């Protein structure tokens, strides 16, 4: 089970692929409607020789409390019916493969009397022999056509040499992997069978936060397990998962649920369960599903051409925090701050520059920087996209013809006395000929202290721009900093990468 580290220590995004020896807990929901009943006893008749019956008790006036709403009994969907109708189309996937591992060579003590003898058998540069180690894993999937087409996660079948699909009627079929797309974590399988039950696909766009959803899968190998919950958020972008606007839910999803369907209250598939956010490796209340529209788009591309294609803009971006918003005079901290532009790429040809803030992509607002790659992932290579950007205190629009993600990307005088740049806390000097390392201009950070050092600027960095304006002299830096109010945004080059660093000076 692979894990993707987040910015927060000890918290991980965990691939929900089964690992042995773990115990999981499933969840369910039961709804009950209260039924109020009243009855009036029959009147007693007088018997001969018996006293007349007492006068009947006066009935109390009817209650003035409002009657329960008819909707109160239909809050929960019929999970049992959804499971009964769709469970047979959810499959268990078993994967066998192998990985190469190297066995470390034993450490020899030079003082050992047998040192020279054993040393003869060691090959220089090869401390150990590589060998194949078998691997096994389990996941889930679901049938989308009666002739055996199955959707699952790419990480479920990664490095697989043999894939077996098991149906609920206990039949097993070898599966062929038609294609796998790691960028969206979607894979398409095919088994040779006919008249299979297939699931009805819905729309994740119609989902509302708080709406009931249900998952069926094989957590820890327990086939056709059911869990339910609600949608927690939509369009959630995760670290390193740049092409997927995830659906976040609180449905109990555990290792082995990967690749299984997420249903709406009408029994339609709206997503593929993919990941969990966890400190323990097991479910802790946060799970993520790939929208079904993303999955079907990948499926169609794989069936049509054998692989999925993704659009490319050719920029590196950063989040816009409050310091950046203050530096660039934005109304609020939102958008994707362009830190670097690939030379000759689609963004460069469209006129995008470092320091621009992308506010909208094809009229879709960008709140967090991760929204841009997620929107880009839904675009088509060759498509012309409209970008609304913030540049030098005003909004502008650019047109960019998107490239393809698989295309190769282009690679990104005398010494003077270092001069301190005021309240920034930097000692700066011009670049020498041998220090350019791809930088077209800028100033070398000779020493860093004060506000800049606290923000993360280091000696050796190259200061390229302040608040989006390229810098060429220490005097220019002083003037920009003196005119700034609360903070400045420094574009620095560190090695081959360019990043914006917010520095508070107020």
Q: Which of 155, 310, 323, 326 is labelled catalytic? A: 155
Taking alpha carbons only, the member of 117, 156, 113 closest to residue 135 is 156
Active site residue 155: yes
Active site residue 258: yes
State both tokens at 297. 């788009």
Taking alpha carbons only, the member of 184, 207, 205 closest to residue 294 is 184
Q: Whose structure tokens read 């960008």?
A: 366
Q: How far is CA 259 from CA 197, 234, 338, in A?
A: 17, 19, 34
Q: Which of 204, 218, 225, 258 is labelled catalytic? A: 258
State both tokens at 493. 């080059």
Radius of gyration of the chain (CA): 32
HSE (side-chain half, CA atoms, 13 Å) at 384: 5
Q: Which of 94, 180, 181, 185 is labelled catalytic? A: 185
The secondary structure element, H or E, covering residue 465 is strand 462-466
Q: Do residues 190 and 214 make contact, with C-beta atoms less than 8 angstroms apart?
A: no
Surface-to-core class of residue 221, CB atoms within 10 Å of its CB (0-12 exposed, 13-18 middle, 19+ buried): middle
Residues composing the chain: 506
Q: Whose structure tokens read 């956010």?
A: 277
Taking alpha carbons only, the member of 298, 246, 242 closest to residue 277 is 246
Beta strands in 241-293 (DSSP E): 241-249, 261-263, 269-278, 287-291
Active site residue 406: no
Query: Which residues are annotated as catalytic?
Result: 155, 185, 258
């Amino acid at each position: 089970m692979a894990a993707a580290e987040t910015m927060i220590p000890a918290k991980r995004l965990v691939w929900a692929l089964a690992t042995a020896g773990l115990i999981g807990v499933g969840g369910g929901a039961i709804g009950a409607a209260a039924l109020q009943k009243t009855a009036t006893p029959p009147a007693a008749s007088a018997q001969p020789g018996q006293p007349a019956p007492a006068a009947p008790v006066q009935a109390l006036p009817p209650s003035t409390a409002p009657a329960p709403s008819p909707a109160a009994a239909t809050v929960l969907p019929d999970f049992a019916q959804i499971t009964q109708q769709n469970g047979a189309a959810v499959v268990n996937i078993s994967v066998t493969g192998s990985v190469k591992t190297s066995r470390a060579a034993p450490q020899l003590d030079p003082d050992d009397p047998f040192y020279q003898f054993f040393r003869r058998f060691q090959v220089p540069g090869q401390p150990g022999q590589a060998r194949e180690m078998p691997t096994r894993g389990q996941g889930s999937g679901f049938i989308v056509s009666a002739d055996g087409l199955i959707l699952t996660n790419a990480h479920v079948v990664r490095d697989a040499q043999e894939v077996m699909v098991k149906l609920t009627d206990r039949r097993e079929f070898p599966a062929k992997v038609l294609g796998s797309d790691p960028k969206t974590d979607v894979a398409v399988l095919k088994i040779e069978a006919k008249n299979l039950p297939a699931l009805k696909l819905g729309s994740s766009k119609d989902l509302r936060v708080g709406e009931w959803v249900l998952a069926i899968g094989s957590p820890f190998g327990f086939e056709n397990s059911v869990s339910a919950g609600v949608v927690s958020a939509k369009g959630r972008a995760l670290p390193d998962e740049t092409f997927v606007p995830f659906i976040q839910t609180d449905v109990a999803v555990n290792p082995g649920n990967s690749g299984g369907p997420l249903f709406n209250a009408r029994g339609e598939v709206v997503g593929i369960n993919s990941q969990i956010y966890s400190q323990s490796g097991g479910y802790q209340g946060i799970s993520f599903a790939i929208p079904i529209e993303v999955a079907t788009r990948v499926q169609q591309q794989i069936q049509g051409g054998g692989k999925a294609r993704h659009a490319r803009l050719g920029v590196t971006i950063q989040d816009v925090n409050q310091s950046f918003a203050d530096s660039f005079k934005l109304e609020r901290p939102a958008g994707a701050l362009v830190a670097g532009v690939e030379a000759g790429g689609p963004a460069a040809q469209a006129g995008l520059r470092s320091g621009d803030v992308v506010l909208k992509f094809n009229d879709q607002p960008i709140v967090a920087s991760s929204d841009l790659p997620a929107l880009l992932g839904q675009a088509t290579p060759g498509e012309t996209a409209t970008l609304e950007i913030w540049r030098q205190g005003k909004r502008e629009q650019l047109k960019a013809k998107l490239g393809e993600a698989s295309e190769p990307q282009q690679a990104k005088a005398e010494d003077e006395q270092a001069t301190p740049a005021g309240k920034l806390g930097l000692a700066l000097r011009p670049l020498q000929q041998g220090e350019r390392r791809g930088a077209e201009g800028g100033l070398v950070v000779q020493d860093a202290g004060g506000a800049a050092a606290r923000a993360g600027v280091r000696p050796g960095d190259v200061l390229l721009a302040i608040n989006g304006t390229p810098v060429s002299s220490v005097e220019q830096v002083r003037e920009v900093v003196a005119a700034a109010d609360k903070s400045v945004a420094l574009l620095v080059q560190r090695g081959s990468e360019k990043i914006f660093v917010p520095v508070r000076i107020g």
